[in-house]
């Protein structure tokens, strides 16, 4: 298991939070997703055997958001 924390540039409303959480939680291997609206951050725990941090970042980008930075930490 690993955890990625992504800092976003453009979270503008609470519905953005719901949209991102819904999309990432549907990915195989994602165990937990939390979008921190006020901090413009996403925290996701995931199984590295099933999904990569890069694919999670790409999914966020595909939704139309800009990932400013991403940090991965092994759990």
pLDDT attached to residue 12: 80
Whole-angstrom Cα distance, residue 9 to residue 11? 6
- pTM for this prediction: 0.91
pLDDT in tens, 8-32: 987 888 888 999 999 999 999 999 9
pLDDT attached to residue 44: 98
2-74 — its CATH code?
A: 3.30.70.100
pLDDT attached to residue 22: 96
- Other CB atoms closer than 10 Å to residue 10's CB: what's the count? 11
pLDDT in tens, 34-67: 999 889 999 999 999 999 999 999 999 999 999 9
45 CB-contact burial (10 Å; exposed 0-12 / middle 13-18 / buried 19+): middle
> What SS3 state is found at 70?
strand
């Amino acid at each position: 298991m690993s955890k990625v924390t992504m800092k976003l540039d453009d979270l503008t409303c609470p519905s953005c939070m719901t949209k991102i959480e819904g999309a990432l939680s549907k990915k195989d291997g994602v165990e937990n997703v939390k979008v921190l609206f006020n901090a413009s951050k996403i925290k996701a725990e995931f199984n590295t055997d099933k999904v990569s941090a890069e694919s999670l970042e790409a999914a966020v980008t595909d939704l139309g958001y800009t990932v400013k930075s991403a940090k991965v930490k092994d759990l």
